[in-house]
Amino acid sequence: MLVAAMLLGAYGWQPAEEGRAFRSPYLAQVGSRYADTPIARFHYVQAGSGTPVILLSPGGTSVIGWKDQLDVLARDHTVYVVDLPGQGYTQLKDSGFAFDLDAMVSAAGAFMDGLGLRQAALAGNSWSGGWALAFAQRHPDRVTKLALLDATGLDLPGTLMWESLKIPVIGELAVKLSTGKPTVRSLAEGMMVNKPRLTEPLLDEWWAPMTFHDNIRATYLLERRLDWAQTERALPATMTPTLVLWGKQDTIQPVERAHRFAELLPNEQLVILDGCGHAPQLDCPEPVNRHLQTFFADSR
């Protein structure tokens, strides 16, 4: 009976998409935009003018993940913050989308093509840092600069919680049972050192798209299918100027991994931020903004 209940929960039951009723004050303020492509209807926000900078929404959340950077970087650049498939408010069109590294790289390219962007600087945090890295490795002519914030991309195991998502049935159940707001709060607090920054409005914005069924499915599929051995092998040949920016107190991607990136990347700058966790752009926005502004200053 227990096995039957677990199978039903994993493959039959779906939690309510409670976040569908949420009306984002942040998106009402900055304005949602959409780019239609054969892969997806990409949700993004845009601000500023100048050389293009694309910020990929951190894995598991939405454009809210770069809320403190949008206006700051927009002083000198045209800034696009985009939800790739399985994240935020982007609507997947391709029913055969694989949610592996090839697919996420293709999605990033499709978004750029949809907006007519031949080149841009890229930044990503956590999963999206790995996706940005993979895109730069495969399309170096399209990436002027690359910022990796507490990024994936090394062929190393994740935390026990994330590794458990690779197990069939358990992974499906774990993600579905993690969409309640108290659980999301616990997960978010575990990523941040400066917990007062996790306000109720930010938590609501973080939580809502995590309840969407497509995003739930994407979470466990991505954990199973992203092959970071590919990106690590290619690091010594990755010539894109790269900023490796890391929270010293990251409990998900330990700071030792930042030093591993620095050892393998031939054209990098390494910055370790003390008093910051896995999402430094939310946890420590002021120093992150300063470093990103300086790094992207000449990104033609």
Provide, rounded to the nearest whole percent, the portion of the chain with pLDDT above 90: 88
For residue 163, give Cα distances in angstroms to 100, 153, 264, 278.
Answer: 16, 15, 25, 17
pLDDT for 191 equals 94
pTM score of the predicted model: 0.96
Structure tokens at 51: 């050389």
For residue 92, give Cα distances in angstroms to 30, 60, 214.
Answer: 23, 15, 8
Residue 2: inside a domain, yes or no?
no
Whether residue 221 is predicted with pLDDT greater than 90 in this model: the reply is yes
Could you report the per-residue pLDDT of 167-176, keeping only the tens digit for each?
A: 998 989 989 9
What is the rounded average pLDDT of the residues 129-158? Answer: 97
Domain count, the chain: 1
Residue 278: inside a domain, yes or no?
yes
Residue 6: inside a domain, yes or no?
no
Residue 7: inside a domain, yes or no?
no
What is the rounded average pLDDT of the residues 270-277? Answer: 98
Residue 13: inside a domain, yes or no?
no
Could you report the per-residue pLDDT of 52-71, keeping only the tens digit for each?
A: 999 999 988 999 999 999 99
Whether residue 126 is predicted with pLDDT greater than 70 in this model: the reply is yes
Average pLDDT for the chain: 95
Sequence-ordered list of residues with C-beta below 8 angstroms from that of 86, at least 6 positions apart, any chain: 92, 99, 214, 215, 217, 218, 219, 221, 222
Residue (of 176, 159, 195, 205) closest to 61 by Cα position = 205
Confidence bin at 213 (pLDDT 50/70/90) = very high
Confidence bin at 300 (pLDDT 50/70/90) = low
Compute the distance between CA of residue 285 and CA of residue 138 in angstroms, rounded to an integer: 30
Residue (of 210, 201, 187) closest to 67 by Cα position = 201
In 10 A of CB 36, how many CB atoms? 11
Q: Residue 231: give its domain's CATH number.
A: 3.40.50.1820
Residue 12: inside a domain, yes or no?
no
Confidence bin at 115 (pLDDT 50/70/90) = very high
Compute the distance between CA of residue 141 and CA of residue 225 in angstroms, rounded to an integer: 26
Higher-pLDDT residue of 174, 119: 119
Residue 109: inside a domain, yes or no?
yes
For residue 279, give Cα distances in angstroms to 117, 187, 229.
Answer: 27, 12, 23
Tally of residues, the chain? 300
Confidence bin at 165 (pLDDT 50/70/90) = confident
DSSP structural state of residue 98: -
Q: Give the range of the structural domain holding residue 291, as residue numbers without chain letter.
A: 23-295
Confidence bin at 299 (pLDDT 50/70/90) = low
Residue (of 211, 201, 203) closest to 179 by Cα position = 211
Q: Phi and psi (nearest 5°) for 119?
A: -135, 155
Residue 11: inside a domain, yes or no?
no
Could you report the per-residue pLDDT of 173-192, keeping only the tens digit for each?
A: 989 989 999 999 999 999 99
For residue 272, the cross-strand partners are 246
Sequence-ordered list of residues with C-beta below 8 angstroms from that of 3, at least 6 positions apart, any chain: none
pLDDT for 8 equals 64
For residue 256, give Cα distances in angstroms to 30, 192, 195, 244.
Answer: 36, 18, 23, 12
What is the rounded average pLDDT of the residues 132-157? Answer: 98
